[in-house]
Structure 1
């Protein structure tokens, strides 16, 4: 492969990953927030029940992110993306025919699993193509993943009014399948001589280690295995960060529209708070990824989490749409930073060889604990205290501040 073809295929791989991840992102971050009030009306349930939708989605993420990372090493990146797209489209069909909140939970679980098979392979692929710009390229993919919901949240409302719930969901199934398969076609893995040389160097290093030979300091920074990673202090601080910052960030996807309605805004206005959150959740990923390449991963993440904590503490003072939208946008920037910068931070600390599996394990914290501590607990607290958002905003703000402290403890371990 010559250099020009390599650059072209690398650019096409990024474009393909972005196309493939668009609809999973829109459905993950936008669909539950827009549909929550409709589901409450359709199935006669409260905020706690609709908040549990995110719990089921994140539980699937916790289970399947690691498996997606493992399976892509065996079956290939493109096959995993195609599988994820097929499952996302099937999930839309399931949502279309939901006749109870239980079926909505089934959709949420399937959609969460499907997103794993697109997101992890996409992040792995773009970092393989551009190892010197991991923050920028992973931030680009993460940007599309989050920005899709900012674009589609108001469109979902328009589609709902135009087509009705069932027909809208079926249209989304077709759009997801068409765009996703097109993106998967362009998402081609590297097969050039550079990758071959990297694999040869890695194998030679492993042989030296087995034989007990002396190796240079730079060579000591070999990729860690999954088992070795689990024995590092840094992994568990990163895991804790995902619990705290993940809970604080993902809660806004279900709180924003409800908070807007509590201010007396119409649904179209309340959705704009969710749109502001998703706008920075998307666009901020590119910026935070870019700056993390230059200013450092931990510094960028710590500052973003600190800003989110302050925004949550100020939310009880927000009484209008502009102020609420600005504060939601700050939380969205923090949430996007968690996604975009964590990926290159994992690659920096533990290497790219087992990136998918290791990064998937960090999602176990997000999937199993961030959901219950964030959207689920928030929803039930709202039901218990008559819709008072102040206690929820205060404890989510504290989560963000603790995440800012936790991420500072994540450093690259010795790799001997």
Structure 2
């Protein structure tokens, strides 16, 4: 099961574009748009946190549905459906004027990410089983590309169009979403399913139930899920509020935007590197290393909320962030069959989405209650450290033996 070389390039390129739209633009760039958007619409930090939570809630509520749809109908239809949701969300946010509209549209972005991102990971990982870490790293370089672009575009449009600049950002995101949809429509195809003898009726239902139970109760997969949940909780807080923290500490908005953009550039460069490191070093070791770097990056501005401190944060996190995503997602598909891969990715992503559901609301409330950011990111640093310890524990857990055709096969 292999793609022709030219098709492989187009498939991966389309996947990178889908990741850029559904993760970087639909989820993580919100923190860059938030300051002008919050000022224009008169939102509080608590309301801003609730908007991030709405997206996470949409993601969490449908991520298992998306995995089931991808398992039954193939990942392609799920990815296209997710992109449609994201495009509609972008268009709506460009004209929304009241808080409840923002909540609905941000939830729609979560729906779109759920349907597009996790099925994409399992689809690509199945096409390239021997280079799973590398191709997932390439896909996640789309996150860096999106964040780099947003870090430049948001300040530019905000300065060019004043109070309405943030609306034009959403319009631009919608245009990029349409391009991603066309790329996915043309170049993303479902891999062939392995030929297996599938029992009928009650026996088939019992077999599927047993397979789900084996995935859901596996200590290795559950530990990956816990770590990925910590990544979701802490990274979304950073994505939404670190830019505001930098502005609150007196960093010039243009410089802060450049730092966020440079973090995205580092994500582009380091994505494939982390994929290769994960393939060679092992998922647990690479995940522990990335989490340790994320801990250092987050604690620095807590101890030193200066331009140098924020610069160090964005640089170190830019190097490490794709390592966290790539290693966790690759680990989730490592010892399951190709047919089970969408379910395994969706399962660990439930933890990730739950973390993203909790993080923005808790952080928004804490920032508003304490009238500052340092306590929030101090707690975030401590949670990341727990994730690093759990990641190292993965190296001590035996990998489960896959049933039937492994996803490695």
Q: TM-score if structure 2 supplies the norm length?
A: 0.87
In 1, distance between residues paired with 2:242 and 2:258?
A: 9
- In the alignment, structure 1 residue 177 sits paired with structure 2 residue 178: yes
Seen in structure 2, the aligned counterparts of structure 1 residues 73 and 358 have a Cα distance that, compared at 3 Å, is same
- In the alignment, structure 1 residue 312 sits paired with structure 2 residue 298: yes
In 1, distance between residues paired with 2:361 and 2:267?
A: 21
Partner of 1:32: 30
User: What's the offset of the Cα at 1:294?
Assistant: 0.4
Partner of 2:282: 296
In 1, distance between residues paired with 2:172 and 2:26?
A: 16
Seen in structure 2, the aligned counterparts of structure 1 residues 375 and 168 have a Cα distance that, compared at 3 Å, is closer
Partner of 1:135: 133
- In the alignment, structure 1 residue 377 sits paired with structure 2 residue 375: no
Partner of 1:98: 96
In 2, distance between residues paired with 1:378 and 1:72?
A: 33
Tell me which structure has the larger Cα radius of gyration. Answer: 1
Partner of 1:213: none
In structure 2, the gaps of 5 or more residues are 204-209, 404-409
* Structural RMSD (CA): 2.5
In structure 1, the gaps of 5 or more residues are 211-223
* Residues matched between the structures, number: 389
User: What's the offset of the Cα at 1:48?
Assistant: 2.0
User: What's the offset of the Cα at 1:26?
Assistant: 3.3
- In the alignment, structure 1 residue 112 sits paired with structure 2 residue 97: no
Further displaced range: 268-277 or 48-57: 268-277
User: What's the offset of the Cα at 1:29?
Assistant: 4.3
Asked if structure 1 preserves the Cα contact closer than 8 Å seen for 2:19 and 2:139, the reply is yes
Partner of 1:218: none
In 2, distance between residues paired with 1:282 and 1:28?
A: 18
- In the alignment, structure 1 residue 397 sits paired with structure 2 residue 381: yes
User: What's the offset of the Cα at 1:324?
Assistant: 1.0
Q: Which runs of 4+ in 1 moved over 6 A?
A: none
Q: Deviations over 1:208-232 (max 9, x none)?
A: xx9xxxxxxxxxxxxx822211122
Further displaced range: 54-63 or 19-28: 19-28
Candidates 215, 233, 242, aligned match of 1:229: 215
Seen in structure 2, the aligned counterparts of structure 1 residues 67 and 77 have a Cα distance that, compared at 3 Å, is same
SS of residue matched to 2:400: coil
Asked if structure 2 preserves the Cα contact closer than 8 Å seen for 1:61 and 1:113, the reply is yes
Seen in structure 2, the aligned counterparts of structure 1 residues 162 and 313 have a Cα distance that, compared at 3 Å, is closer
SS of residue matched to 1:251: helix
Asked if structure 2 preserves the Cα contact closer than 8 Å seen for 1:276 and 1:326, the reply is no
Asked if structure 1 preserves the Cα contact closer than 8 Å seen for 2:32 and 2:243, the reply is yes
Asked if structure 1 preserves the Cα contact closer than 8 Å seen for 2:91 and 2:171, the reply is yes
Further displaced range: 392-401 or 37-46: 37-46
SS of residue matched to 2:334: helix
In 1, distance between residues paired with 2:19 and 2:50?
A: 24
Equivalence map 1:132-281=2 (5 Å): 132-163=130-161, 164=164, 165-191=166-192, 199-200=194-195, 202-203=196-197, 225-281=211-267
